[in-house]
């Protein structure tokens, strides 16, 4: 789980709805983080959409650039940025 001290929350906006921003390059651990509002654990491993749902996806080329999710417990919106870029090598 990410350590709270490694999270960098910044107020931002998507459309007219206020959101918090999490830069994944500033987190440590296995990718889990807490909702900035209610503290529920959000895990990238959870594909059920019980804890959060995906609202928007931004892709540049074939790389994921930004993801906006919404916490299902408190309805907070969180913009995730700083996804790792994986290079594919043709063999």
Answer yes or no: is pLDDT of 68 > 60. Answer: yes
Which of 87, 66, 85, 88 minimizes the C-alpha distance to 77?
66
User: Is 87 domain-assigned?
Assistant: no
Chain position carrying tokens 């594909």? 47
Residue that wins the pLDDT comparison between 88 and 48:
48
- Give the residue-averaged pLDDT of 1-27: 60
User: Is 88 domain-assigned?
Assistant: no
Please state, rounded to an integer, the average pLDDT across all residues of the chain.
Answer: 79
User: Is 90 domain-assigned?
Assistant: no
What is the model's pLDDT at position 17?
Answer: 57
Buried (b) or exposed (e) across 9-33, using 16+ Cβ within 10 A? eeeeeeeeeebbbbebeebeeeeeb
Number of domains in the chain: 1
Sequence-distant (≥ 6) Cβ neighbours of residue 70 within 8 angstroms = 52, 53, 55, 76, 77, 78
| Structural domain of 24 | 4-81
- Give the residue-averaged pLDDT of 50-59: 95
What is the model's pLDDT at position 26?
Answer: 82
User: Is 71 domain-assigned?
Assistant: yes
């Amino acid at each position: 789980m990410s350590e709270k001290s490694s999270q960098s929350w910044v107020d931002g906006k998507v459309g007219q709805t206020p959101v918090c921003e999490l830069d994944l390059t500033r987190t440590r651990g296995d990718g889990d983080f807490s909702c900035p509002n209610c503290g529920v654990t959000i895990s990238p491993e959870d594909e059920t959409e019980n804890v959060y749902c995906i609202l928007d996806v931004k892709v540049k080329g074939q790389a994921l650039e930004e993801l906006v999710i919404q916490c299902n417990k408190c309805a907070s919106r969180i913009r995730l940025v700083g996804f790792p870029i994986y290079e594919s090598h043709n063999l």
